[in-house]
Amino acid sequence: MASAEVSEDEASLALTNAEKDLVLAYQAVLEAEQAGANVSSLVPKLNEAGEYLARAQVEYRIGHFENATNFAGSSRSIGDEVQNAAAGLKTSAFFERVQHMWFMMIGSLAGMILVFLGSFWVWRAFKRRYYRRVLGMKPEVVSGEP
């Protein structure tokens, strides 16, 4: 039974827009995740938007175009909300990552310099001790009568 207020074309357009928005929201979440953000709070919202979209598709298939448009609208608004939240998470994750990288690079470089200088110092000390030991092994000249 088709709705009188919303045409099939309008419902179809609403569905297409909601599908595109949900894909964009998913891609935004994926980018945030790849930037190192914790996206676990956004996934339930994506699933909620997905449930609305699935329901919109069902309503469209059985000819309830007004319901389909309403569910597609609900899916879109959650999808937009997720997109904005994901963009914010991505930005903060990027800055955290840059900061972490700097700490890591400075720490590693300082560690490498310390290892290099430490090895050099240990080698010099070892060499000195080695020479002392070798010199100590020289035969002593003793005077004696045949």
Partner 1 sequence: MSLEDYRAVFIGVSFILILLVASPILSLVLPFSSGSEHFSEFWVLGPTHMAEAYPSNVRVNETYKLFVGITNHLGSSAYYVVYLKFRNQSQPLPNVATSEASPLEPFYTYMAFIVDGGTWESPLTFGVLKSSSYDNFVSVDSVSINDVVFPVNVFSAWDAAKNGFYYELFFELWLYNTSSHSFQFHNRFLGIWLNMTN
Query: Residue 63 or 88: which CB sits closer to partner 1?
Result: 63
In single-letter form, the type of residue at position 56 comes to A
Selected range binding partner 1 among 2-10, 31-39, 88-96, 138-146, rule: CB under 8 A: 31-39
Cβ proximity of 103 and 48 under 8 Å: no
Contact of 3 with 64, CB cutoff 8 Å: yes
Told to check if 33 binds partner 1 by CB under 8 A, we report yes
Based on the shown chain and the rule CB under 8 A, indicate whether residue 17 belongs to the binding site for partner 1.
Answer: no
Q: Is 84 in the site for partner 1 (CB under 8 A)?
A: no
Q: Residue count at the site for partner 1 (CB under 8 A)?
A: 38
CA angle, 82 then 26 then 16, to 5°: 95
The least CB distance from residue 141 to partner 1, in Å, is 25
- Work out whether 125 is an interface residue with partner 1 (CB under 8 A): no
Q: Which stretch binds partner 1 (CB under 8 A): 4-12, 87-95, 116-124, 137-145?
A: 116-124
Amino acid at 44: P
How far apart (Å, rounded) are the C-alpha atoms in residues 24 and 39? 15
Phi-psi region of 53 (alpha: psi -120 to 50; beta: other; left: phi over 0): alpha
What is the residue type of 15?
A: L
**Nearest distance from C-beta of residue 118 to partner 1, angstroms:** 8
Q: How many angstroms separate the CA atoms of 24 and 89, rounded?
A: 15
Applying CB under 8 A, the residues found at the interface with partner 1 are 22-23, 26-27, 29-30, 33-34, 39-40, 43, 46-47, 50-51, 53-54, 57-58, 61-62, 101, 104-105, 107-109, 111-112, 114-116, 119, 122-123, 126-127, 130
